[in-house]
Amino acid sequence: MLLTTFFFCTRRWFTFFSPPENLSVLSLFEFSLCSSRFLFHGTLSSRQTSIWEVTIFHPIEKYKKFDFPQFQLFPKPEDHRQETEWLRFTGFLQERKKVALVSLAGYELYIQAPDATFSHAVVMYRVMSPPFIPKSPKRIPESAPNLNVPTPPAYEKIVTGIFEGTDDNGDYFRKGVTSPPLSSGETNVPEVPCAKKNLSSTHPTYLKTLSQTHAGWIFGAIAELVDNSRDAKSKRLDINIEIFYSKKEGKNIRVLSIVDDGHGMSHDEIMTMVAFGHDLPEGQQPDRIGRFGIGFKSGSMRLGKDAIVLTQTTTSRSVALLSQCFNEDKSNLEIPVVSYCKHDNYMEFDLSIQSEASAEYNLKAIKDFSPFNEYVLGEKLGLFGQAGTGTQIYIWNLDMWGQNYSLEWNNKEHEGDILIRSKRVRTRLGQICQQVPLDYSLRSYMEVIFLNPRMRIYIQGSLVKTRPLEKSFNKTAVFHDMIMGKPLKLTLGRSKIEWERFNSGIFLYWHGRLIEAYKRVGSHINNSNVETGRGVVGVIDVTNLMDDDDGNPWVLNNKQGFQDCEAYAELEEWLGKMYDIYWDTKFDTLDVKEGSDRYKPDDQWVQCNKCRKWRVLDPDFDTDTLPVDW
């Protein structure tokens, strides 16, 4: 008995028993069901390539009177989803009493599913004309167009019905088939050596690999999600640690929630977000921060093992699950996504991009592997309202620090804040000070993360009061120059807050987003005198210089530093010169005058919480007396 194994592009192996001798040369076949096409790959003895194309479905009664030779087609799914897809296809054949017709290399093949357990399909065949079998495979010239191979599950629109179309009678079919799993006796078939797979897949462990993008600083992961909210033109962002009941674990669990009121994501946009990298959108906003296509994945997986996304636009709604637990026993990464479209005043499955069976399958996976049952989902989706838009991200199985969570949110001395439990200060060249709240206080980080804050950020229900760095300086000086033909503006001054903390350095922004903080430059790097440069802070937006002529950034993909490139080297040298000039001309190292008046800002600035515009006040005005919501 001849045994041959094939590899299917959505990661399924099929095993054929006793096929006709001439068919044993196949190494590629394709199912084409109406507008959907599915490639199958494999290798047999002669390694010839051909295509199986399902062109039509016929009633099985037409073929019962013929005594055609036949062979069996056994599936060997690698995960539950692949098994479900097989059941859907064979279930359709049996439910409708159909055979799938394939015309191939002088043969006609008739695929049927007579077994009630759907353990295998039977392929009848007949010879139409002597098949031509070349002696060696043909090579595809390099100039030939690329074969349009479907992408792995993480990329493809997995919510779309795998086997949707019309039969020969014009009947439209969408429903999935619920059937018993394959019996062990039918799936435990010995394998034979075969060629390596020529399609790449994404293993679930890649999610953990992505999380290491922010291994050095967990707030960098939160910043990725905050960036997405800013790009979505959100006016309000809430970051909280909430309590949810997990039916799977049988107890309450802590969940990090990041909720905004931006414009939300359509189905295509959320599929792009969960994809592993993507092209930059045409005509994208010039101040857009998200560029690399990995921010959501790397950020959420650093914070916890599992994340769910709820998003709503004016016409659609989508739910997606990115989960290490859901993919724990799988060999290929799966990301369940369910999309809805708006009809009048209610939402229903969008059947233009997914079958109802596929949507139900993914929705069940989301409810089974998250603390979101239908009631919690309804409650959270209800927060959007009928006309509301926005995105909600919930992350659980949070990262641990020993026996506790890496994040701390119940510190009585820091109410309305989320802290890094270790409170470790990040290492910076030339830094002596160990009092850097920005490194371990999320509130302190959010105060300065954006050069021009547009949205109100709430942490644990408490509004973050933004800190306009360049508007809070004493003895302010502004330097303009050209570097590599690109204009730059540097603002330097002495900050009272940073002087008290013995901090200093340059804050480098890119597209208005903080990339580096407290960067020491010039003679300030290795100066042992703690008073030299004390409290002197600079602010600069380097977008012009650190974006090349094609719009590609010289920013690291974790957005916590810049690449080692000519532009950055030139920038460092120029910053060092400007910093030294400022220190030499503005401050006398022998001046030991005491008193806080020396470090008052040149002007007092406050930001309106409604219009987000800055207002200048008298230098002697005490801004601490203003109400929180001003």
Q: 210 and 331 share a domain?
A: yes
pLDDT at residue 152 is higher than 90: no
Query: Among residues 413, 554, 535, which one has the least CA distance to residue 483?
Result: 554
Question: Which one-letter amino acid corresponds to residue 130?
Answer: P
Same domain, 213 and 179: no
Nearest-angstrom CA–CA distance, 394 and 486: 41
User: Is residue 404 domain-shared with residue 497, that is, in the same domain?
Assistant: no
Asked whether residue 507 falls in the same domain as residue 363, the answer is: no
- At 27 the pLDDT is 31
Coil, helix or strand at residue 143: coil
Sign (positive or negative) of CA dihedral 574, 579, 580, 584: positive
pLDDT confidence of residue 70: 81
Q: List, for residues 94-141, the tens digit of each pLDDT value.
A: 888 888 887 766 677 888 876 666 677 888 888 765 544 444 443 433
What does the pLDDT read at residue 598?
53
In the chain, the percentage of residues whose pLDDT exceeds 90 is 43
The answer as to whether 461 is a domain residue is: no
**249 and 300 housed in the same domain:** yes
Domain stops at, among 187, 219, 239 = 187
Q: What would the pLDDT profile of 237-274 be if each residue is shown by its tens digit? A: 999 999 999 988 899 999 999 999 999 999 999 999 99
The pLDDT assigned to 620 comes to 66
pLDDT at residue 487, as a whole number: 96
pLDDT at 222 over 60: yes
| 404 and 480 fall within a common domain | no
- My answer on whether 533 and 593 are in the same domain is yes
Q: Which of 119-123, 415-419, 539-543 has the lowest mean pLDDT?
A: 119-123
- Count of structural domains within the chain: 3
Which CA distances in Å does 286 have to 249, 280, 456? Answer: 45, 11, 22
Q: Both 156 and 18 in a single domain?
A: yes
pLDDT at 149: 32
How many angstroms separate the first and last alpha carbons of the chain?
A: 82
Please, are residues 418 and 239 in contact by the beta-carbon 8 Å criterion?
yes
For the stretch 597-612, pLDDT in tens is 555 666 666 667 666 6
Burial category of 182 from C-beta neighbours within 10 Å (exposed 0-12, middle 13-18, buried 19 and up):
buried
Domain end residue (candidates: 187, 217, 243):
187
Q: pTM to 2 decimals?
A: 0.68
| Partner residues linked to 3 by β-bridges | 17
- The CATH number for 481's domain is 3.30.230
Mean pLDDT of all residues belonging to the chain: 77
Backbone angles phi, psi at 356, to 5 degrees: -65, -40
Instruction: Establish if 217 belongs to a structural domain.
Output: yes
Examine residue 463 and state whether it is found in any structural domain, yes or no. no
Question: Rounded to whole angstroms, how far apart are CA atoms 98 and 421?
Answer: 62
Summarised one tens digit per residue, pLDDT across range 43-88 is 333 333 345 666 677 888 877 777 788 877 777 676 676 777 777 7
pLDDT digit string, tens, across residues 418-465:
999 999 999 888 887 888 999 999 999 999 999 999 899 999 999 999
Q: Tell me: do 375 and 523 sit in the same domain.
A: no
Asked whether residue 33 is assigned to any structural domain, the reply reads yes
Burial status of residue 23 (CB atoms within 10 A of its CB: 0-12, 13-18, 19 or more):
buried
Enter the DSSP assignment of 130: P
The region of weakest confidence among 322-336, 491-505, 599-613 is 599-613
Task: State the Cα–Cα distance between residues 212 and 209, nearest whole angstrom.
Answer: 6
How many residues are recorded in the chain? 630
Q: Which of these, 86, 83, 200, lies nearest to 151 by C-alpha position? A: 200
State the SS3 of 81-127. HHHHHHHHHHHHHHHCCEEEEEEECCEEEEEECCCCCCCCEEEEEEE
In a domain, 453, yes or no: no
Instruction: Flag whether 440 is in a domain.
Output: no
In contact, 473 and 539? CB cutoff 8 Å: no
Of 93 and 191, the structure prediction assigns the larger pLDDT to 93
Residues 181 and 220 in one domain: no
Which pLDDT score is estimated for 398? 97
Per-residue confidence at 17, pLDDT binned at 50, 70, 90? very low
Query: Is 180 in the same domain as 211?
Result: no
Asked whether residue 235 carries a pLDDT value surpassing 90, the answer given is yes
Is residue 442 a part of any domain in this protein? no
Q: How far apart are CA 447 and CA 507, in angstroms?
A: 13
Buried b (16+ CB within 10 A) or exposed e, 588-622: eeeeeeeeeeebebeebbbbeeeeeeeeeeeeeee
Higher pLDDT, 182 or 311: 311
pLDDT for res 116: 66
Phi, psi for 242 (deg, rounded to 5) = -115, 170
* 590 and 526 together in one domain: yes
Residue 388 sits in a domain of what CATH number?
A: 3.30.565
Q: Is residue 95 part of a domain?
A: yes
Please, are residues 519 and 506 in contact by the beta-carbon 8 Å criterion?
yes
List C-alpha distances in Å: 586 to 135, 326, 582.
84, 60, 6
Q: Could you tell me the residue range of the domain that residue 351 belongs to?
A: 206-413
Of 187, 221, 254, the position where a domain reaches its end is 187
